[in-house]
Amino acid sequence: MDDRSLMYQDSPQGLRRMDYCNGVQGFINFTTSIPRNFTGGGIRCPCRKCENKKYLHPDVVMMHLLHKGFMENYQYWYVHGEVFGSKRRMEETVVGSTSSASNVHEATNDNTNPYRNMIMDAMRMNQDNVSQCPIVEEEPNVDAIKFFDLLKDSDEPLWDGCTNHNKLSAVAQVFTIKSDHGLSEAGYDKIIEWARSILPEGNRLKENFYVAKSMMKPLGLGYQKINMCPNFCMLYYLENVEMIECMTCGHSRYKPRTGRGKTLMAYKKLRYFLITPKLQRLFMSPRTAEHMTWHQAHDAVEGVMVHPFDSEAWKLFNSMHPQFSVESRNVRLGLCTDGFNSFESFAAPYSCWPVILTVYKLPPGMCMRPEFMFLSIVIPGPSSPGRNIDVYL
């Protein structure tokens, strides 16, 4: 389909134009040339009714497209494997054999999209298990909607004709600049306002920090707020979640209400960054999964310790917990913490305690690298928890 705008043009009589029919045939040829597009013999149908939510036989998809037309804003076939920036090569696949479409796909495979891979890792998916999803006729759930929205953003150009950036890459890179240089939200908004003014008309750069943050939120891990005693005696968690005062010192959990406010405000809150999703991502990403069973094939040298695996403590743990140690995928973690003044030395004394987890399953060259040291909780100040730090560990 030389001009993708023909996807949305009908003749006055409501009949499909011949060039549109040829374009539909080209779409089917291209889609069926990519094996991962198939699930149980069906491919996603991008018609106005199905909107890529149903897997149907290619012949049925062709009939849907001829009778109902393409869904809105689907000039780039990102769900069906079209790589951003490869449109001209796709146009060569109008009406031809599937072998010509296969050649186009092979040519585009060299130009992988790192932001698409980032989404796959963040949403705990990869190219293989995306194609292995079962055929579903029902509406996608919330997570699936977020996933496909992010995939669309990772393949949609920043403006029509842009080949260097897509909607997701632009926001991700500006977020990195904000983090590296400590920009305020107001400063971020001013830069975006200026950038949008010099970009071509109709650009898709998110207009402010709030909107961009909402777009990037599904890629984050999030955290859980847990109320705690201001004297570091206990956490209001699990079986203690309904208590309203400390069982040790009797201090109230909530601050006194002022004015007409109905929301109860706790004196102090702990931030808990869930560790399970982080570990799941290590196993889901093909770049790290193979290293998570490194110790199983590691041969220790007598008298030489290159990893905690070689220590006597590790061997003692194995002898005490044989059922745990026999499974190579079970994870062993190291824990460390220290207090620091988050407002620098010249400010008022304030002691904040982050707790870091280290994944000892990884080999020596990886387990102590910053990207594999996970922040699990942040114990707030202003004072140190002292001996009561065990309450949080």
pLDDT in tens, 298-308: 777 777 888 88
Q: How many CB atoms lie within 10 A of CB 237?
A: 14
At 120, the pLDDT band (50, 70, 90 cuts) reads low
At 387, the pLDDT band (50, 70, 90 cuts) reads confident
Q: Dihedral angle at the C-alpha atoms of 34, 38, 42, 44, nearest 10 degrees?
A: -70
Distance CA 231, CA 233 (A): 6
At 107, the pLDDT band (50, 70, 90 cuts) reads very low
| pLDDT number for residue 143 | 62
Q: Are 90 and 103 contacting, i.e. CB atoms less than 8 angstroms apart?
A: no
| pLDDT number for residue 189 | 92
Residue 237 or 123, more confident: 237
Residue 96 or 375, more confident: 375
List, for residues 258-273, the tens digit of each pLDDT value.
766 677 888 888 888 8
Residue 247 or 344, more confident: 247
The two beta strands, 55-56 and 224-228, are: unpaired
Q: Are 119 and 91 contacting, i.e. CB atoms less than 8 angstroms apart?
A: no
Tell me which range, 1-5, 158-162, 186-190, 259-263, is most confidently predicted by mean pLDDT: 186-190
At 102, the pLDDT band (50, 70, 90 cuts) reads very low
| pLDDT number for residue 109 | 40
Q: Are 60 and 45 contacting, i.e. CB atoms less than 8 angstroms apart?
A: yes
Using alpha carbons, list the distances in angstroms from residue 52 to 5, 21, 302, 353.
19, 19, 58, 47
Residue 334 or 87, more confident: 334
| pLDDT number for residue 11 | 44
| Region 343-352 average pLDDT | 68
At 193, the pLDDT band (50, 70, 90 cuts) reads very high
| pLDDT number for residue 340 | 79
| Region 176-183 average pLDDT | 85
| pLDDT number for residue 113 | 63
At 6, the pLDDT band (50, 70, 90 cuts) reads low
For the cut 60, the answer to whether the pLDDT of residue 25 exceeds it is yes
For the cut 60, the answer to whether the pLDDT of residue 84 exceeds it is no
| Region 175-197 average pLDDT | 89
Its pTM stands at 0.52
Q: Which residue has the tokens 């599937």?
A: 98
| Region 369-385 average pLDDT | 84
In this structure, what are the phi and psi dihedrals at residue 376, rounded to the nearest 5 degrees? -105, -45
At 190, the pLDDT band (50, 70, 90 cuts) reads very high
| Region 292-301 average pLDDT | 77
Distance CA 48, CA 126 (A): 27
What lies within 8 Å, CB to CB, of 230 at 6+ separation is: 251, 267, 268
User: Considering only 86-95, 244-253, 299-308, which range has the smallest mean pLDDT?
Assistant: 86-95
| pLDDT number for residue 112 | 55
* Average pLDDT value for the chain: 77
| pLDDT number for residue 123 | 55
List, for residues 157-176, the tens digit of each pLDDT value.
888 888 888 888 888 888 88
At 16, the pLDDT band (50, 70, 90 cuts) reads low
Using alpha carbons, list the distances in angstroms from residue 63 to 33, 70, 77, 294, 332.
19, 11, 18, 51, 54
| pLDDT number for residue 221 | 60
Distance CA 68, CA 20 (A): 12
| Region 110-114 average pLDDT | 53
